[in-house]
Chains A and B, each alone.
Chain A
């Protein structure tokens, strides 16, 4: 008599299909040993927004009654396994529905597992992952985040590698044979994908994490008002007008205290204040009004508000003045402008290091040139999955015909 509860934490839209495949894969794999299951997305995450953290859940149980026992919740309050398919989510998760910032391991039970796809070291990841009051395991699949879109899917085998890894983590529920069988039968499965799942099973890296390890920062949260405290007529106070940065100069807008949005970010802009021509384009075009106007007329991207969309980089007329860099190489949300003002030489070398790292400036979503998809796919699979010699890795062809 037992149940296994898993959550899959992912980037809205970019990883929607990936997460859904994993959740369904868990249930269908467990069904191979007669288990019951249910797969669902967190309704409050929908409609999804690009990159905004979202969750799917999969619950499997020995009996239908036990399944109901664990389903009798809007969403699980505890999970045995947290699957995280983008390591920048290690910094925390904030749904668009004003939930506050939640550590990635918040729902993971004591001695449970956080399974992550990442190329970072455990040490680097633990700078981001918040501390837990109980020990847990950090299991890593060596792969970069698999991003695609609502209508396209990146066939880099991430979904089956996660399923293979889960067979290692929870063999009582998901046998490797059961997982393999389910993958082979799934409409998006294939023998090649079964081989990738088995490789992930063998290669999984697992490390115990102690309660003393991790990011000591207390994540921001807020109290929700009582019904009689809320203003009537479905009205909320407007965000107040902002203030000058200092000495009557510059401008810093006030922002929504209930939704900071920065965990949406997989990349952040790094600004070269020396070459900024103060043209205002980044400030005007930013869809999230994340730029603060500095007293000298330059623009500082506020890292509590930036969603990392990259529009500023696209509209900036000065070459290399704004460069998008992968979020994982940053450790805090401190102001770049303040760092620059304090010590310009130090800032320049810091900036050169960040934008000079070619791995970190590869876009996490979208492509810069035609053919990049095929190129990345081969590289990804050589690294962790099965080598592809021709074409796109196959799906079960018979399911494609009517």
Chain B
């Protein structure tokens, strides 16, 4: 009766642990041998700082662990540590991330490859701990690389990939990994942890080169500048973000080569999209109810698929357009809001609308806002969204109005 679809790992190879997404990140940080980590507690990110503290206390990781007096200092400290050549990590959630905003803003122009874990959390008020994506999306315009993860395994793998991408000299940009509060940060799943030798083969040392702040390399970082200089600096940032496309592609290919797993397409997961009439789009752990609902609907003859976006910055415009434009209708399910935006839609829906503007074929697109504050996205919500998409497919056009699902009304 029992079916093990994955054989137990061979000795000295990957070991299997029952760990949460946060603990998986801490495993990756240990393997990446980080140098400086700053911490300031806020749920659900705090589970990561606890897991790292345990690693250091157990002697499994040697790193400077600095508990800051607030998120502002927390991000400021690692920014400086990174400029002197330290591999750094920090993170936050919700309004904690917001409190660090000034430091988040200065990190991309200084070309600091800081890795941050955002445990996605609803912004106050009301004080709530459940997931919304608005916190990480604060920095979407600023030069931060942004990705969303879905499982403990992806948490571990993506953290390793993140260092390789951010610390690549062609990029040198901060990178925030977003993990849905509760669903990922607090659930323990079976996760493969690779041996250190493999990670060493994949992840080169952080080399800051001519940007290293060191007495042997005298430089001034961040002198005051006026209109004669600023736009050129922004242009450089834009170029680094553009180069990230290639670097991300390379990193995933190399990851697959070294670890023997990982996705072919770094940018998004495609689930049953090949013959899909309706494609739903979302980010993070929302994929779980959508996938289960898709299996149920397919059993009844509804050809539905899912595109789960992993990378939001840089935005995989071309590949996404190619993957989506063949569908009869699209339904974008946002776990965020953007009040007063075009059509009152969520952030992802409007990004995809913009991406499709020049496409040869533009399927009707419906925008849904769902699961805010950690509200469960039910199978019924997904069925309802899908049926509305089929309605738009039949009509050949969509009402741009945004639909809120799962609200008491």
Contacts and interface: CB of A to CB of B under 8 A. Distances in A.
Nearest to B375: A74
Contact of A38 (B5, B126, B189, B289): B189
B407 interface: yes
B5 A64 contact: yes
A120 interface: no
B129 interface: yes
A46 to B, nearest CB: 7
B188 A228 contact: no
B364 interface: no
A51 interface: no
B408 A27 contact: no
A93 B131 CA distance: 25
B289 A72 contact: yes
A227 B5 contact: no
B187 interface: yes
Given A47-B43, A68-B292, A24 B188 contact: yes
Contacts of A72: 288-289, 291-293, 379
A31 B190 contact: yes
B36 to A, nearest CB: 22
Given A226-B408, A402-B58, A62 B3 contact: yes
A218 interface: no
B4 interface: yes
B1 A43 contact: no
A34 interface: yes
Contact of B125 (A28, A34, A228, A234): A234
A172 interface: yes
B331 interface: no
Contacts of A23: 188
Residue among B5, B43, B188 having the largest count of chain A Cβ atoms under 10 Å: B188
Contact of A227 (B289, B293, B376, B409): B409
Contacts of A225: 408
A69 B189 CA distance: 15
Could you tell me the dominant secondary structure of chain B's interface residues?
loop
Contact of B2 (A27, A62, A65, A71): A62
Contact of A34 (B4, B186, B295): B4
A50 interface: no
A239 interface: no
B3 A34 contact: yes
A170 to B, nearest CB: 13
Interface residues of A, number: 36
Interface string A320-348: 00000000000000000000000000000
A368 B393 CA distance: 71
Interface in A36-53: 36-41, 43, 46-47
A36 B1 contact: no
A65 B189 CA distance: 14
A175 B111 CA distance: 55
B291 A68 contact: yes
Contacts of A370: none
Interface string A218-253: 000000111110000010000000000000000000
A63 interface: yes
Contact of A39 (B3, B18, B409): B18
Contact of A27 (B18, B292, B409): B18
B408 A36 contact: no
A73 interface: yes
A43 B409 contact: no
A36 B379 contact: no
A361 interface: no
B282 interface: no
Interface string A6-45: 0000000000000000011001100101111111110100
A381 B3 CA distance: 37
Contacts of A33: 2
Given A35-B2, A37-B190, A43-B182, 5 more contacts: A34-B3, A37-B189, A38-B188, A43-B44, A62-B3
20 contacts: A24-B188, A27-B18, A34-B2, A34-B3, A34-B4, A39-B18, A39-B187, A40-B186, A40-B188, A43-B186, A68-B288, A68-B292, A69-B292, A71-B288, A72-B289, A72-B291, A72-B292, A226-B409, A234-B125, A402-B59
Interface of B: 1-5, 18, 20, 43-44, 58-60, 125-126, 129-130, 181-182, 186-190, 288-289, 291-293, 295, 374-376, 378-379, 407-409
Interface of A: 2, 23-24, 27-28, 31, 33-41, 43, 46-47, 62-65, 68-69, 71-74, 172, 224-228, 234, 402
**A-B complex: 6 closest residue pairs judged by Cβ atoms:** A34-B4, A43-B182, A74-B376, A40-B187, A402-B59, A72-B292
